[in-house]
Amino acid sequence: MSDEREPTAAEILEWRRDGVFLPDGKATPEEFPSLKNMSAGFLFNGVLRPLEPAPPEYVALPMARSDMELVGAVGQWNMLWESAQFRRRFFDMDDLPKPMAKIADLGDVNVTFVPRTRARYFEYAPLFHLLPKRVLDMFGLPLLRGGQWPFMADWAGIDDFLPTDFEARLASAWAWTVWPHLMSGSKMKAFSADDPIRLLAHNLDFWVPAVTATIQDRLRDFPEVDKGKTPSPVTLEDGSVLAGAIAGNPRMGGPVWFGEDDAQDAVVETVDAADRTGQLRGILDAVRSHRVEDDFSSQWSYAREDFERKLHGKRRKVTVKLVELTDTIPVQGPESEVLGNLVTNDFLALMDARNQQIVVLLNSGMTKKTEIAEVLGYANHSAISKRLAQIRRTAEVYFDGT
């Protein structure tokens, strides 16, 4: 019988807090902010590298901290990010937790699992961990220990320690950080709160794919762990060769960025990546020139007509432009709508009073396995029309008051 006493609730809480918060004196510009990656080499002797990695898809799963089986499996799955669509081949389907097994059973899909939490910290963690201490202080955000990408585990239960308005504070802090790269020479305070570019800067979901691309680009420059592997074709159990894949050593892990200067470089890279993942420059040019090409897919024609008819019901002279941002990285969750092989996420509405126009951007990305949403119960065929109606009601109030 052990003489060691059980820790008290207060002690456990203090341990958890210590795992979440960084002591103020350690947040030096030389070392903070930071984001790190753990090498797959800790658990795997090799990886499969696709010659053409499939675009990543993010799937939000309910993930209780106490569900050690699911947490452990997700951590192993995610750390194989470099194997992209081939990572399921490292696992026995019978050993995967049921939510993951359903996805893996769909075939070779490049899926990264993230937990859905109240604060949505893990979805936005890469953006948070680009912010220096002075920006965190400015917007009342907590000083957290360095971040980890991709998501591995939530041992401390970080959601319990974050402010209820964490997402809103982070959006403001990120917008303040990225603004000089969008509108150099013009301070954000010179623009109204509803300025289209200002709204885009605050939209965290728009920036997540871009920062993900930045992280992966940096990690692909890391050296390999010497596991004795030489690049070679992948032979399957039946003797056939896996097409489009090469076996090799896993890459080392380490800091993705470390300190203010490095993080600032990563911000610039994220802005550049936003043009690839979210057509950033096209949006900025359209708003700046006040000429937005109506490039909405025909499948939304009825929704567009209904939107315009109702918005113009009181003879408002407002130009409606609906622009679809295709080939963005899809994030499949409860807010997604799936039609065919297209995953559509939330709209971003940019209301421009000066030019009497409303620009509605639909963030969409192609997915080869739309069954993902159905398997997780996320398939939703009314979200888009509901969101359009919400935007229309907001626009009516907005333009009637301007």
Q: In sequence order, what are the beta bridge partners of 348?
A: 361
Q: What is the pLDDT of residue 397?
A: 65
Give the Cα separation of 109 and 132 in Å (integer). Answer: 35
H or E stretch including 354?
Answer: none
In the predicted model, residues of the chain with pLDDT beneath 50 are 290-297, 299-300, 330-347, 366-369, 381
Q: What is the pLDDT of residue 297?
A: 46
> In this structure, which amino acid lies at residue 284?
L
Give the Cα separation of 378 and 59 in Å (integer). Answer: 10
H or E stretch including 138?
Answer: helix 133-138
Give the Cα separation of 70 and 186 in Å (integer). Answer: 47
Residue carrying structure tokens 């300190």: 259
pTM: 0.77
Which among 170, 267, 262 has a CA at the least distance from the CA of 211? 267
Q: What is the pLDDT of residue 59?
A: 81
Q: What is the pLDDT of residue 205?
A: 81
